Structure 1
């Protein structure tokens, strides 16, 4: 079993990931492609 702290960290990581994904989807297409290219 995961400890409560580990679960919390996983939840926060997931929230940040989804927030970042949603933010990218709201950006213009060209901006999103440029950002992906840098990664």
Structure 2
């Protein structure tokens, strides 16, 4: 039997003209840790 190796890379960029900074500095670090935990 042959082994199959697959790699999938996602790069998602969200950009909206006239965007505002809506992520509060108070919980920004916790949010990024959560996102990293899901991704890896």
Q: Do these two structures clear the TM 0.5 threshold for a shared fold by scoring above it? A: no
Judging by fraction of residues, say which structure has more helix: 1
The normalised TM-score by structure 1 is 0.39
Structure with larger Rg: 2
TM-score in terms of structure 2 length: 0.38
Name which structure has the greater RCO, CA cutoff 8 Å, separation 6+: 1
